[in-house]
């Protein structure tokens, strides 16, 4: 663990320890978010309430992630509830496994997160099954064991019965004496930050606020977004809380301005179209694809881009886009002004086409440019985008536009790395002759300026717990906050208990 500021921990007597926070993931790393909150009663031998903030998949290096994903460091039957911040896999992706291991409590989330979780988890179940099939085939001649997929599509389907939709701002009871509220996180559609009010001693088992006990307030940022992203509302401020569990993905980095994104997008399309080339955009099916289609629609309405076909080659993106249209409660004002007030669907216009079948996708290979092809996955590790990259990366008329975070050891990272001239795709080497452009203005995460402003505005803050960040991003953020504010800042390791 690392820490700055006041030392509020150590040998505190048990009766003064009513709340424990245990990060089971996303501790000094960016995936596997799962923070357990235990609420204790004075003198009791076990917690009176235990719940999870998110239950996500670990991602990254295959073997290491598989080991971390396979087991929970708690008994699933001991958990009373899950409060889910949003539908990204590193936050929701282990809920089917939780169900498979016997958890039957509620999963509270916003309505949009519930709908998105259904398609994202089913897709994840499919990937787990395929992944296992491939793994077992290649293990057949070795002595290693083939354990079956982490979970199946069917597991993903049945776990949805636990999900309970809640409106933003409505208070709901997590367990007796603990209530919560979702606020806009401005990260992806449906994403929420969480405010918790925890009674020291609940007055009754109804979960209503007690009259005698002190109320403690704990905040969880979830993944904090940025102001001015298309479609969704900007992040809310965190109301007064004593303790804040805060993400720190970009605690030491500043993003390009959101307003720049559309200008760069226009320039790169114009340039590629002039060459008669194809613009390949590897993009996550959830949010990034919809934001770019939204901007392309605005650019086309203003006739600021040439009339080139725009192909969204991702069945998952199509399903996610349908869900976007079902949740106007998440939209910002400009979404209404730009499109809905004119009865226009932002994701449908004359240039755009969504493909479904593999045949349609393959046919794009023989179709001459100019055209724009957007396909998953965002980091080029899976999905149809790899086929397009293989076919198009050696043609200097084409452009590859990276719009999201490319983690280390991914094909996406090697493509944007200027010191790498050849990349391996499907076991063959290809020369990077296409123009490569990186644009981080579409990032869905707060940068260091946003994070500083978010945390310093929290009234009454005493303890800041930094999660969801790698040390080189988290530590400078921790240092800044402990200098600017009178708070204890901690950067817990996985499974390290924080006692409030
Ligand atoms: Zn996220």
DSSP states of 448-497: HHHHHHHHHT-TT--EEEEESS-HHHHHHHHHHHHHHSS-EEEEPPTT--
Dist. CA 422 → ligand 1 center (Å):
31
Q: Is the N-terminal amide bond of 377 cis, ω within 30° of 0? A: yes
- The CA 273 to ligand 1 mean position distance, Å, reads 33
Burial (0-12, 13-18, 19+ Cβ within 10 Å), 488:
buried
User: How do strand 163-166 and strand 107-110 relate by DSSP bridges?
Assistant: parallel
Q: Give residue 223 CA to ligand 1 midpoint distance, Å.
A: 5
| Residue 133 pLDDT level (bands cut at 50, 70, 90) | confident
Percentage, residues of the chain above pLDDT 90: 79
Find the 230 Cα to ligand 1 centroid distance in Å. 16
pLDDT at 137 over 80: no
Q: What is the pLDDT of residues 257-303, one digit of tens each?
A: 998 999 999 999 999 999 999 999 999 899 999 999 999 999 999 99
- Give the Å distance between the CA of 225 and the centre of ligand 1: 9
- The alpha carbon of 220 and the centre of ligand 1 are apart by a number of angstroms equal to 13
Instruction: Tell me how far the alpha carbon of residue 189 lies from the centroid of ligand 1, in angstroms.
Output: 10
| Mean pLDDT value across the chain | 91
- Ligand 1 centroid–CA 445 distance in Å is 8
Pairwise pLDDT comparison (145 vs 83), residue with the higher score: 83
Going from the Cα of 192 to the center of ligand 1, the distance in angstroms, rounded, reads: 10
In the reported structure, the alpha carbon of residue 306 is separated from the centroid of ligand 1 by a whole-number distance in angstroms of: 33
Integer Cα distance of 197 and 241 in angstroms: 9
Rounded distance between C-alpha atoms, residue 172 and residue 319, angstroms: 29
Quote the ligand 1 centre to 429 CA distance (angstroms).
32
pTM (whole model) above 0.75: yes
Topology of domain 2-254+444-499, CATH: Metallo-beta-lactamase; Chain A (3.60.15)
Query: Residue 200: its pLDDT value, please?
Result: 79
108 CA distance to ligand 1 middle (Å):
17
Tally of residues, the chain: 500
pLDDT of residue 139: 65
Q: How far is the CA of 221 from the centre of ligand 1 (A)?
A: 11
Neighbours of 115 (CB within 10 A): 24
Give distance in angstroms: CA of 1 to centre of ligand 1.
24
Give the model's pLDDT for residue 202.
57
Bridge partners (DSSP) of residue 219 are 195, 244
Mean pLDDT for 129-134 is: 84
Q: Rounded to the nearest whole angstrom, what is the distance from the C-alpha of residue 5 to the centroid of ligand 1? A: 29
Which residue(s) pair with 241 in the sheet? Answer: none
Asked which of 12-21, 80-89, 155-164, 417-426 is least confident by mean pLDDT, the reply is 12-21
Query: Ligand 1 mean position to 121 CA, how many Å?
Result: 14
- What are the structural domain ranges in the chain? 2-254+444-499, 258-438
pLDDT, greater one: 132 or 68? 68
- Say whether pLDDT at 23 is over 70: yes
Give the Cα separation of 312 and 375 in Å (integer). Answer: 6
Q: How many angstroms is it from 231 CA to the middle of ligand 1? A: 16
**Residue-wise pLDDT tens digits, 177-219:** 999 999 999 999 999 999 999 987 655 544 444 445 689 999 9
For range 424-450, the mean pLDDT? 94
CB atoms within 10 A of CB 13: 6
Mean pLDDT computed over 358-385: 92
Find the 460 Cα to ligand 1 centroid distance in Å.
27
**Parallel, antiparallel or unpaired: strands 178-184 and 171-175:** antiparallel
CB atoms within 10 A of CB 104: 12
For residues 102 and 97, what is the distance between their CA atoms, to the nearest angstrom? 9
Interval between CA 408 and ligand 1 midpoint (Å) = 18
CA of 468 to the centre of ligand 1 (A): 10
Taking the centre of ligand 1 as the mean of its atom positions, its distance from the CA of residue 251, in whole angstroms, is 15
Name the β-bridge partners of 372: 279, 310
Report how far ligand 1's centroid is from the alpha carbon of 55 (Å).
12
Tokens of 387: 């086929």
From the CA of 87, how far away is ligand 1's center (Å)? 7
User: Which residue has 């979702």 as its token pair?
Assistant: 182
**Distance from the alpha carbon of residue 92 to the mean position of ligand 1, in angstroms:** 10
**114 C-alpha vs ligand 1 centroid, how far in Å?**
15
Residue 444 C-alpha to ligand 1 middle, in angstroms? 8
Ligand 1 center from residue 411 Cα (angstroms): 21
Q: Which of 476, 477, 470 is nearest to 407 (CA)?
A: 470
Strand-strand pairing, 34-39 and 49-53: antiparallel
Distance in angstroms (rounded) separating the CA atoms of residues 201 and 210: 7
pLDDT in tens, 68-103: 999 999 999 999 999 999 999 999 999 999 999 999
What spacing in Å lies between the alpha carbon of 428 and ligand 1's midpoint?
32
- Rounded to whole angstroms, the Cα distance separating 271 from 180 reads 50
Q: Are β-strands 488-491 and 463-467 bridged in parallel, bridged antiparallel, or unpaired?
A: parallel
- Rounded to 5 degrees, φ, ψ at 181 are -145, 140
Q: How far is the CA of 342 from the centre of ligand 1 (A)?
A: 31
Q: How confident is the model at residue 3 (pLDDT cuts 50, 70, 90)?
A: low
pLDDT, residue 141, reads 56
In 3-state terms, what secondary structure has residue 153? helix
Residue 47: pLDDT band with limits 50, 70, 90: very high
| Cα of 126 from ligand 1 centre, angstroms | 21
CA distance 106 to 103: 9
Encode pLDDT of 232-265 as tens digits: 999 999 999 999 999 999 999 999 999 899 999 9
Measured CA to CA, the distance from residue 335 to residue 331 in angstroms comes to: 6
| Alpha carbon of 433 to ligand 1 centroid (Å) | 32
Please report, for residues 72, 251, 293, the alpha-carbon distance to residue 57 in angstroms, rounded to integers and kept in the order given: 11, 22, 28
Report helix angle 385-392 to 358-366, nearest 10.
10
Residue 419's pLDDT band, with cuts at 50, 70 and 90, is very high
CA 100, CA 83: separation in Å to the nearest integer?
A: 18
Task: Say which CATH architecture domain 258-438 belongs to.
Answer: 3-Layer(aba) Sandwich (3.40)
pLDDT score recorded for residue 207: 44
């Amino acid at each position: 663990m690392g820490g700055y500021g006041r030392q509020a921990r150590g040998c505190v007597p048990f009766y003064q320890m009513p709340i424990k926070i245990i990060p089971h993931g996303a501790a000094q790393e960016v995936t596997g978010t799962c923070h357990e909150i235990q609420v204790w009663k004075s003198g009791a031998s076990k917690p009176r309430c235990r719940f999870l903030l998110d239950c996500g998949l670990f991602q990254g290096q295959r073997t290491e992630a598989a080991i971390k994903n396979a087991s929970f460091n708690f008994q699933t039957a001991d958990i009373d509830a899950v409060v889910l911040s949003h539908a990204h896999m590193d936050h929701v992706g282990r809920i089917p496994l939780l169900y498979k291991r016997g958890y039957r409590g509620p999963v509270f989330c916003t309505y949009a997160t519930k709908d998105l979780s259904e398609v994202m988890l089913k897709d994840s179940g499919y990937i787990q099954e395929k992944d296992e099939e491939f793994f077992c085939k290649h293990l057949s001649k070795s002595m290693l064991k083939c354990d079956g997929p982490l979970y199946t599509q069917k597991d993903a389907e049945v776990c949805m019965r636990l999900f309970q939709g809640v409106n933003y701002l409505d208070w709901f009871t997590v367990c007796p004496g603990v209530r919560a509220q979702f606020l806009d996180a401005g990260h992806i559609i449906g994403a929420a930050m969480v405010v918790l009010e925890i009674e020291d001693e609940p007055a009754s088992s109804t979960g209503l606020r007690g009259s005698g006990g002190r109320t403690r307030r704990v905040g969880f940022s979830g993944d904090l977004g940025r102001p001015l992203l298309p479609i969704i509302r900007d992040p809310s401020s965190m109301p007064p809380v004593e303790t804040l569990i805060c993400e720190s993905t970009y605690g030491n980095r500043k993003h390009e301005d959101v307003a720049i994104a559309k200008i760069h997008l226009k320039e790169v399309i114009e340039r590629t179209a002039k060459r008669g080339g194809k613009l390949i955009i590897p993009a996550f099916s959830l949010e990034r694809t919809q934001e770019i289609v939204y901007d392309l629609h605005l650019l086309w309405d203003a006739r600021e881009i040439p009339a080139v076909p725009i192909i969204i080659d991702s069945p998952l993106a199509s399903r996610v886009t349908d869900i976007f249209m079902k949740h106007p409660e998440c939209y910002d004002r400009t979404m209404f002004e730009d499109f809905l007030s004119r009865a226009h669907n932002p994701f449908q216009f004359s240039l755009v086409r969504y493909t479904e079948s593999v045949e349609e996708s393959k046919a794009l290979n023989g179709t001459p440019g100019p055209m724009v092809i957007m396909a998953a996955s965002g980091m080029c590790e899976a999905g149809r985008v790899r086929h397009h990259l293989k076919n198009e990366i050696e043609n200097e008329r084409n452009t590859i536009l990276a719009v999201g975070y490319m983690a280390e050891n991914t094909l996406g990272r090697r493509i944007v790395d200027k010191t790498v001239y050849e990349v391996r795709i499907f076991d063959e080497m290809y020369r990077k002759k296409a123009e490569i452009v990186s644009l981080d203005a579409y990032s869905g995460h707060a940068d260091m300026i946003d994070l500083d402003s978010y945390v310093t505005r929290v009234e009454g803050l005493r303890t800041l717990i930094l999660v969801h960040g790698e040390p080189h991003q988290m530590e400078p953020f921790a240092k800044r906050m402990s200098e600017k504010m009178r708070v204890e800042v901690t950067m817990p390791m996985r499974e390290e208990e924080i006692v409030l």
